[in-house]
Every structure is written in structure tokens, then in C-alpha cells.
Amino acid sequence: MNALFGGPILPTLFKLAVASVLVGILLAVFGIQPIDLWRNFADTVAHIWHMGFDAINWSVRYILLGAVVVIPIWIVVRLWTYLVERK
């Protein structure tokens, strides 16, 4: 039996139960219900895929917004440092 479960039965069942609870909480955070996973698995994968790209789109937008301010300031500071060290 140990070979089938990959170790002692009770600790293995406990680890599976803990992992199931953690995955269940994660799925609940994203609003995914267990029946939805079985009804239309392809739609679930597509939904997760689009959520990932929405997150990338969101982060790129804010990175560019911040870069509009940060990069010119960084250039000015680098030029200022170069000119002061040169003298």
C-alpha cells in the first residue's frame, strides 16, 4: 500500500486534504466553482488565460505611466552626477 500512496497512508491522506483545502481557497478567490471546472474545462482554461493577460496589460500600463516620470528624472540625475564628478 505504501508504494501506491507514495508513503504511509495517513500522512499522505492528510497532505492531500491540506492541499485540497489550499487549492479550494485559491479557486474560491478567483470565483471558480467546482462544477464549472467539470462542465466546461476549456472555458475555464480560457478564462484563466485571459485573466493572466489582463493582469499583464494592467501592469504594463502602470509601468509605462510610471516610466514617463521616472526615466526622465533618472536621466537628469545621471547627467548631473556625471557633470559633478567630472569637475
Print the SS3 string covering 16-61: HHHHHHHHHHHHHHCCCCHHHHHHCHHHHHHHHHHHHHHHHHHHHH
The pLDDT of 10-33, averaged and rounded, is 91
Q: What is the pLDDT of residue 3?
A: 66
On average, the pLDDT of the chain sits at 87
> Is the pLDDT at 8 greater than 90, yes or no?
no
Q: What is the pLDDT of residue 9?
A: 84
Q: What is the pLDDT of residue 1?
A: 59
Find the length of the chain: 87
Using CB atoms within 10 Å of the CB of residue 49, give its burial: 0 to 12 exposed, 13 to 18 middle, 19+ buried: exposed
Q: What is the pLDDT of residue 2?
A: 65
